């Protein structure tokens, strides 16, 4: 057991105590077999069941259609966006026999890094929009009509964006712009920091990727939901054909068709880490699914944004209201010299993990699924009193 923590760290993040308690038991003695879940073979029957169950729970929670496949890979979001660039350039080549261009919508540091990685791997890369170029900072999502017309299904192998920019606190709307869907360019999204925080229409996406360590589990695993058609196209191309076309060849452990063919256990999948994800999913299902979680997340975000918005002369909220993240609330103090005092006083009330990312400074309160409503109310009271007293 442990005392209640009000931890707002951006990731790795807090997990539900009941999940940790069950995981701790299972780490020592899984299903009374006398061995822990981290000690059994990833090809054993119980491990296979963890993989099957986790996939089934995810399909149920996220309403994943049969056109899509779920799989898991070692690694995190970075493994995710690197592997996307290499696998998906192959998919386009497999489908058209032509070298396509990867399209990136850049709205913060994570989509920026993903585009840079695509370029670094030697995939022809085009930045379709960049919100920083427009306003000087990552504080918004450019209007669809300014960029959607540039997308071309014949030329672009995929269009990539980061659904929730963890550092800058910018989040795309759950309903994707219709022009983006109508472009017919395969839609690919990084959901590392808002996966399962709200309902989305999975069939609009050709690929969803999410690192586990914020909303669904521990660091070490990344989850993928891929359209089967895309997977088939990757499998059509040989490494030699890719080399001849000057396209990158995916390392075998991150080559999607190989991983899927082996039910996510081509190499050693960390089964304990996956089991923790499954415990999180089961708890979500028991508590009323994603609808319930979404309602709670909306309430948490509203409470905190309302508290900060009451003091416009004191708190600066840089993100355009329409695109404010419900997961990462980013703010700064307008008065100089108070930052350390803010963090110290918060910490004395057991409100921790509030320091902003080193690249933007200020503060960031991450309100992932496991952060309790009661913790957010305490934080809202604190920001109110701090503004009044200073
Ligand atoms: N994408 C997003 C949206 C993230 O927030 C992060 C990590 N904070 C990453 C990718 C990179 O994840 P990792 O550190 O697991 O590689």
Question: CB 285: neighbour CB atoms within 10 A?
Answer: 14
Distance CA 231, CA 225 (A): 11
In this predicted structure, the answer to whether residue 10 has a pLDDT above a threshold of 90 is: yes
Q: Are residues 232 and 316 in the same domain?
A: no
Please report whether residue 214 resides in a domain. yes
Domain boundary among 249, 284, 319: 284
Both 316 and 278 in one domain: the answer is no
Task: Quote the domain boundaries for residue 328.
Answer: 289-389
Q: Would residue 1 count as lying in a domain?
A: no
pTM of this prediction?
0.98
Instruction: Say if 30 falls within a structural domain.
Output: yes
The domain that holds 363 is classified in CATH as 3.90.1150.10
Is the minimum distance from the CB of 110 to ligand 1 under 6 angstroms? yes
Q: Which of 55, 95, 113, 214 is catalytic?
A: 214
The residue from 284, 309, 342 where one domain ends is: 284
Q: Are residues 360 and 218 in the same domain?
A: no
CB of 192 shorter than 6 A to ligand 1: yes
Q: Which atom of ligand 1 is nearest to the CA of 75?
A: 15
Residue 259: half-sphere exposure toward Cβ, Cα within 13 Å: 26
pLDDT digits (tens, 9 = 90+) for 60-73: 999 999 999 999 99
CATH of residue 232: 3.40.640.10
Residues 335-356: tens digit of each pLDDT: 999 999 999 999 999 999 999 9
User: Does a structural domain hold residue 133?
Assistant: yes
212 and 247, same domain (yes or no): yes
Q: Is there a single domain that holds both residue 327 and residue 270?
A: no
Q: Please say whether the beta carbons of 106 and 130 come within 8 A.
A: yes
Domain boundary among 255, 284, 313: 284
Atom of ligand 1 nearest to the CA of 213: 15
Whether 8 is in a domain gets the answer: no
What is the domain count for the chain?
2
Does one domain contain both 72 and 149?
Answer: yes
Strand partners, 7: 352
ipTM (interface predicted TM): 0.99
Does 5 sit in the ligand 1 pocket, CB within 6 Å? Answer: no
**pLDDT single digits (tens) 239-278:** 999 999 999 999 999 999 999 999 999 999 999 999 999 9
pLDDT band at 323 (very low <50, low <70, confident <90, very high): very high
Same domain, 319 and 267: no
**244 classed as catalytic:** no
**Mean pLDDT (the chain, rounded):** 97
- Ligand 1 contact, 211 CB (< 6 A): yes
Ligand 1 centroid, distance to 344 Cα (angstroms): 27
In the chain, what percentage of residues exceed pLDDT 70? 100
Atom 9 (ligand 1): residue with closest C-alpha? 77
Same domain, yes or no: 180 and 106 = yes
Residues 340 and 246 in one domain: no
Residues present in the chain in total: 390
Q: Is residue 267 domain-shared with residue 194, that is, in the same domain?
A: yes
Is residue 18 one of the residues assigned to a domain? no
**Do the domain assignments include residue 2?**
no
> Do 256 and 302 have their domain in common?
no
Give yes or no: residues 311 and 270 share one domain: no
Going by CA atoms, what residue is nearest to atom 15 of ligand 1? 76
| Statement: residue 287 has pLDDT above 90 | yes
CA of 216 to the centre of ligand 1 (A): 13
Choice among 26, 55, 95, 110 that is catalytic: 110
Q: Is residue 363 part of a domain?
A: yes
């Amino acid at each position: 057991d442990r005392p209640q923590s009000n931890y707002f760290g951006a990731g790795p993040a807090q997990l539900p105590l009941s999940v940790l308690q069950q995981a701790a038991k299972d780490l020592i003695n899984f299903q009374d077999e006398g061995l822990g879940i981290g000690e059994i073979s990833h090809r054993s029957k119980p491990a296979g069941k963890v993989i099957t169950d986790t996939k089934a729970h995810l399909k149920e929670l996220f309403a994943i259609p049969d056109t899509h496949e779920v799989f898991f890979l070692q690694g995190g979001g970075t493994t995710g966006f690197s592997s996307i660039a290499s696998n998906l350039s192959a998919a386009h080549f497999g489908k058209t026999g032509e070298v396509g261009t990867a399209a990136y919508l850049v709205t913060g540091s994570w989509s920026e890094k993903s585009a840079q990685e695509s370029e670094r791997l030697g995939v022809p890369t085009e930045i379709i929009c960049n919100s920083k170029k427009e306003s000087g900072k990552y504080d918004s999502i450019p209007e669809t009509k300014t960029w959607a017309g540039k997308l071309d299904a014949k030329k672009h192998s995929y269009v990539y964006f980061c659904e929730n920019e963890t550092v800058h606190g910018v989040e795309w709307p759950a309903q994707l712009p219709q022009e983006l869907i109508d472009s017919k360019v395969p839609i690919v999204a990084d959901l590392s920091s808002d996966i399962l925080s709200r309902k989305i229409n999975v069939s609009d996406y050709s690929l969803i990727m999410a690192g586990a360590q914020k909303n669904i589990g521990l660091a070490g695993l990344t989850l993928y939901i891929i359209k089967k058609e895309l997977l088939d196209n990757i499998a059509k191309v040989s490494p030699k054909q890719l080399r001849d076309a000057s396209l990158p060849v995916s390392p075998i452990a991150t080559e999607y068709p190989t991983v899927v063919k082996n039910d996510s256990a081509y190499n050693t999948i960390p089964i304990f880490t996956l089991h923790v994800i499954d415990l999180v999913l089961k708890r979500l299902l028991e508590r009323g699914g994603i609808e319930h979680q979404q309602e709670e997340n909306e309430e948490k975000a509203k409470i905190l944004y309302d508290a900060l918005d009451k003091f416009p002369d004191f708190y600066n909220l840089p993100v355009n209201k329409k695109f404010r993240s419900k997961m990462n609330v980013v703010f700064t103090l307008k008065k100089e010299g108070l930052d350390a005092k803010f963090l110290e006083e918060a910490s004395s009330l057991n409100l921790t993990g509030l320091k902003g990312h080193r690249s933007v400074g200020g503060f960031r309160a991450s309100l992932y699924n496991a952060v309790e409503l009661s913790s957010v109310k305490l934080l809202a009271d604190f920001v109110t009193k701090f503004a009044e007293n200073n």
